[in-house]
Amino acid sequence: MLEYHIPALLNESITGLNIKPDGIYVDVTYGGGGHSKEILNQIKSGKLIAFDQDEEALKNKIDDDRIMLIHSNYRYIKNFLKYNGIEQVDGILADLGISFHQVDELSRGFSFKSEAEIDMRMNKNAKIKASDILNDYDENKLSSVFKEYGELNNAWNITQSIIENRKAQKILKITQLVQILGKFAPRNAENKFFAKVFQALRIEVNQEMESLKEFLKASEFLLKKEGRLVVISYHSLEDRLVKNFMRSGNFEGEIEKDVFGNFKVPFNQVNKKIIVPNEMEISKNPRSRSAKMRIAEKN
């Protein structure tokens, strides 16, 4: 049986939260419950609220009265906390990206090594699959997805090839897509190329950038003074948003001034230098190698 998920930077993220025994904490990407378990080990009379939009993660709920596990996308964190009578919290943790289970369960369509349908929905109740994007988006919209979310220089050519092929037959299987785009994959870098293609589709299907922005904005108002925000990202698009927001309170990274000319920032960056896994962690968990962690404290 495959392990559901191995949390990246586990000790570093728990330390970064600066946990109080009676505090209220939120784990917005519950997954296999690895981070949540360690948070519970640190609190006594405190409380933990966890979120996950994948219903399969709910099967991993820890049997503990101090935790509440909510089946929802973390972009709705503010509404759900308010509904449960919680105005502010002491710390929020987000381990972004995709769980091992979602990748390893080939039927979910996240892996380009699968023969499954091109799905990629983190929430299986969502209406739009990755195959819908490939078959229904016009050339400008589809090219934009590959260029913006996959950072592919040949996004337009990739798009034209997809559009030509879908005229003859709908692109529904991963094997179809891999065959269509194989000619664009650089020699000896095929895996990297298809990882970018699949990243782009996954981000679009799950509206990951929009969700991250809404979550970060909400965190500013949900955190108490000196409350901690800990975010682990896995690609430059996520990390850029997190970095800018923690630095300035906006996604452009431009620090604003108040009416008196003083710099106005909602957070203090706890770690000026990005935190990454050490060699020992990477050797035990190679999938953690791209993890980047940033920590901010509410002013």
Q: What is the pLDDT of residues 16-39, one digit of tens each?
A: 999 999 999 999 999 999 999 999
Confidence of residue 3 (pLDDT cuts 50, 70, 90): low
Cα separation, 15 vs 7, whole angstroms: 14
How many domains, in total, are found in the chain? 2
Q: Which of residues 206, 221, 247 is at a domain's end?
A: 206
Identify the CA nearest to 272 among candidates 243, 234, 238, 230. Answer: 243
Take residue 246 and report the two structure tokens written for it.
Answer: 């923690």
Residue that terminates a domain, selected from 144, 177, 206: 206
pLDDT at 112: 86
| % of the chain residues with pLDDT over 90 | 85
C-alpha distance from residue 66 to each of 14, 27, 30 (Å): 17, 13, 15
DSSP tag of 274 = P
CB 73 within 8 A of CB 80: no
The parent domain of residue 261 ranges over 10-100+208-298
In the structure, what pLDDT confidence band is assigned to residue 133 with cuts at 50, 70 and 90? very high
What mean pLDDT, rounded, does the chain reach?
93
Q: Tell me, yes or no, whether 132 and 84 share the same domain.
A: no
CATH number at residue 250: 3.40.50.150
Structural domain contains residue 47: yes
Residues 237, 167 share a domain: no
Last residue of a domain, one of 174, 206, 238: 206
Average pLDDT over residues 257-264: 73
